[in-house]
Structure 1
Amino acid sequence: MRTLYFDCFSGISGDMVIGALIDAGADPLQMEEELKKLNIDEEYTLSWGKVVKNGITSTKFDVILTSKSEQPHEHSHSHGHKHSHNGDHSHSHEHEHNHSHALHNHHGSRTYKQIVEAINEANLNESVTNMSLAIFKKIGEAEGHIHGLPLDKVHFHEVGAVDSIIDIIGAAILIEQLGIESVQSSAIPTGSGHIHIDHGIYPVPAPATLEILKGVPIASNAIRSELATPTGTAIAAVLAEKFGSLPAMTVESIGYGAGTKTFENHPNVLRIIIGEIQ
């Protein structure tokens, strides 16, 4: 069985997942074409390229919002500001202008309901649609629980942000493209300390991340920084059938996805290992 293992020794975020999948050999150009079905491609450009994190060559993936985006970039749970690394291998595309329908933006945020409609209307592959909807539902339920709102009333920046939409649906497209039949993951380190989000200063893990981590083993980690974002955590929580150490497998490909932050004593990358389990 073709299995993907998330080795989250430095946490997990949506952009790290996509970087690692591209690094493991997935085709980002095909992902980019599929994402156009959402009709929001006038709002962003995608960039990916090789970076070195503490001695490990890895792939950095970025969603760069264009001036045509009506939405302020408030990805308040992210690893800090996103930067484009235009190294020799980096790649960036300008997109044609398309009018968005289900995802038309009002007042700088999008609702869970709008995102579900857009995914259903996009005519994506069935398994990509199902994966994407399940991951968004996991985040929507967590946010709804914290804010005391039913799922269809959840209206927020984090899931509504263009980069979260791209990270989640893009990850589903690449996982399906790679022919993955099962997913496993290590325990997830959350980091520690405090972060600034829309509502003030919060402890790490942020409330939404902790809610998503219910039922998922958390690894202890002394790093005073946010290592796991809601998007990355939800991808692992929804897709992984099992959490634990690396399963016995014949390894076929390995990918390293770079995070935005750099830490002194260890590489801030997500490692994915793809192989056959007998």
Structure 2
Amino acid sequence: MSVLYIEPFAGLAGDMLLSALCGLCDGYDEVIGLPEKLNLPDGKVEISTVNKNGIVCKHVKIIDLNEAAQPNGQGATTHSHSHKHTHSHDQGHSHSHNHSHAHRHLSHINDIIDKAEISDNARKIAKEIFLIIGKSESKVHDIPLEKIHFHEVSAVDSILDIVGCAVMLDTLNVEKTYSDPVCLGSGTVKTQHGVLPVPAPATADILRGIPTFKGNEPGEKTTPTGAAILQYLNPDFSVPTSAIKQSAYGPGTKDFTVANVVRVSLLASSPIEQAEMYVIETQLDDTSSEILGSDFQQQLLELGASDFYYTPIHMKKGRPGLKISVLTSPPSLEKACEFILEHTPTIGLRYYKVGKQMLSRNALEIETEYGTVKVKESIKPSGRRQRKIEYDSLREISQKLNKSVLETQELLRPLVNQNS
């Protein structure tokens, strides 16, 4: 399994990420053959070497052969109608022309992915990335998801960018991603829908919960495709101190003062994971314990809280009360706060940022003569492995054996700790 570190200091686009990921796993030959595997004969992949401010790296360029076959880059892709529109390429130039263009529904794109000669996991990754884009497009344009016409991201280049990244991520077997804040750019961009502010509305929606900054130069630095791939990876923005095993650069098509590349690195894995979290707190002295029971707690977890606890306290006027403490990730902070304000009598709460360290852990299922035992395995900083039997398994097997949970635990412990 791999740990990725992404540095989008000059922005993020699908072709930039694809180029960098191909560099990490030497996947250039595989991505060259991708149009055939996706049954997209109008797509072609070319690999070129470019120099971005002294950084020499390879660029994976997707060519739409239909556009290339026409004068001035105008092509005749399969499409039910023609119109004049402005078309924006990933971090590239914008231009207006009359041509036919493939506007596909999400179902059409999923059908292409389902029939592709790629792994099941790569299919899953690609479809989840397109779903992220689809949900944002649906929200921005107020159109049901199944009726959304993908515009720029339904073209051959975007399909191959996303599926190519999915194949590379599957090859790398990424288990954890860290990232720096994303450069957005500024100004305006010409799109199918007209002139829009940077970032485009769909890009801004996709990037919710992700730290961003505008940078010092105008232009579109991050595209919907790049944003959706990053959002799929669900990165942690508290980058740990870790050794870099390998790095690769993915260039964009434009040139800026800052080198227009994204750097993607493989980090040496560590048994200690670090995360940036928030603690939400409020005190209650006028709430029934029934309200704070299992339903309240389950809904908090469903909203993204990773932990919570209650502390008995003495409040003003000598009143006994409870302090609620909820641990949540940055993307879930707002929803968790709104839930507490909505479902308790409190009229205010506070939250603050904390660091979190966790041991790497695995969920195991171990076959024994008494049945399947679910085990949580954690890895100590020394490399020693520690295993703990899940209570549900203990309870189930104890009932089967007509023994107490403690007796069953002692019986199973040496069996689950073999070869640990």
Q: Which residue in the other structure is 1:241 paired with?
A: 235
1:78 has 2:90 as partner: yes
Cα 1:219/1:277, change in 2 over 3 Å: farther
Deviation at 1:34, TM superposition (A): 4.6
Q: Does 1:132 align with 2:136?
A: no
For 1:36, the aligned partner's letter is E
| Aligned residue runs from structure 1 range 4-23, under 5 A | 4-23=4-23
SS of aligned partner of 2:48: strand
Q: Please give the TM-score of this superposition, normalised by the length of structure 2.
A: 0.56
For structure 1, list consecutive stretches of 5 or more residues without a partner in the other structure. 83-105
- Is 1:119 equivalent to 2:113 in the alignment? yes
Cα distance in 1 for residues equivalent to 2:78 and 2:250: 26
> Which shifted more, 233-242 or 24-33?
24-33
Residue 253 of structure 1 aligns with which residue? 246
Letter in 1 for 2:247: I
Shift of 1:121: 2.5
Q: Residues 89-104 of structure 1 correspond to what in structure 2 (within 5 A)? A: none
Measured against aligned partners, the alpha-carbon deviations of 1:197-252 in whole angstroms (never above 9, x if no partner) come to 122211100111001011111124222111000000100011133124x4332322
Give RMSD over aligned pairs: 2.2
Shift in Å, 1:77: 5.1
More strand by share: 2
Q: 1:35·1:170 contact (CA, 8 Å) conserved in 2?
A: no
Structure 2 unaligned segments of length 5 or more: list them.
Answer: 70-75, 80-84, 95-99, 271-420
Deviates more, 1:230-239 or 1:63-72: 63-72
Identify which of 162, 168, 174 aligns with 1:174. 168
Letter in 1 for 2:130: F
State the Cα distance separating 1:80 from its structure 2 match: 2.1
Q: 1:136-164: CA deviations, max 9, x gaps?
A: 00001111111111111111222211111
Where relative contact order (Cα < 8 A, 6+ residues apart) is larger, the structure is 1
- C-alpha separation between the residues in 2 aligned to 1:160 and 1:261? 22
The residue number in structure 1 matching 2:379 is none
User: Are the counterparts in 2 of residues 255 and 273 from structure 1 also a CA contact under 8 Å?
Assistant: yes
- The match for 1:91 is none
User: What is the SS of the residue equivalent to 1:156?
Assistant: coil
Are the equivalent residues in 2 in contact too, given 1:51–1:60 (CA < 8 A)?
yes
- Taking structure 1 as the reference length, the TM-score comes to 0.84
Deviations 1:110-131 (A, max 9, x none): 1111001221232521221111
Aligned pairs, number: 252
CA contact (8 A) 1:74 1:158 kept: no
Equivalents in 2 of 1:26, 1:257: separation in Å? 13
Give the match's secondary structure for 2:177.
Answer: strand
Q: Secondary structure at the match of 2:56?
A: strand
Higher Rg: 2
Show the counterpart of 1:275.
267
Residue type at the aligned position of 1:254: S
- Give 1:35 deviation, angstroms: 4.6
Letter in 1 for 2:77: E
Please say if residues 151 and 192 of structure 2, whose CA atoms lie closer than 8 Å, have aligned partners that are also in contact: no
- Give the SS at the match of 1:110: coil
- 124-133 vs 26-35, which moves further: 26-35
Worse-superposed segment, 217-226 or 162-171: 217-226
The one-letter code sitting in structure 1 at the alignment partner of 2:19 is G
1:136-155 matched pairs, under 5 angstroms? 136-155=130-149
For 1:262 and 1:107, the matched residues in 2 are separated by 27
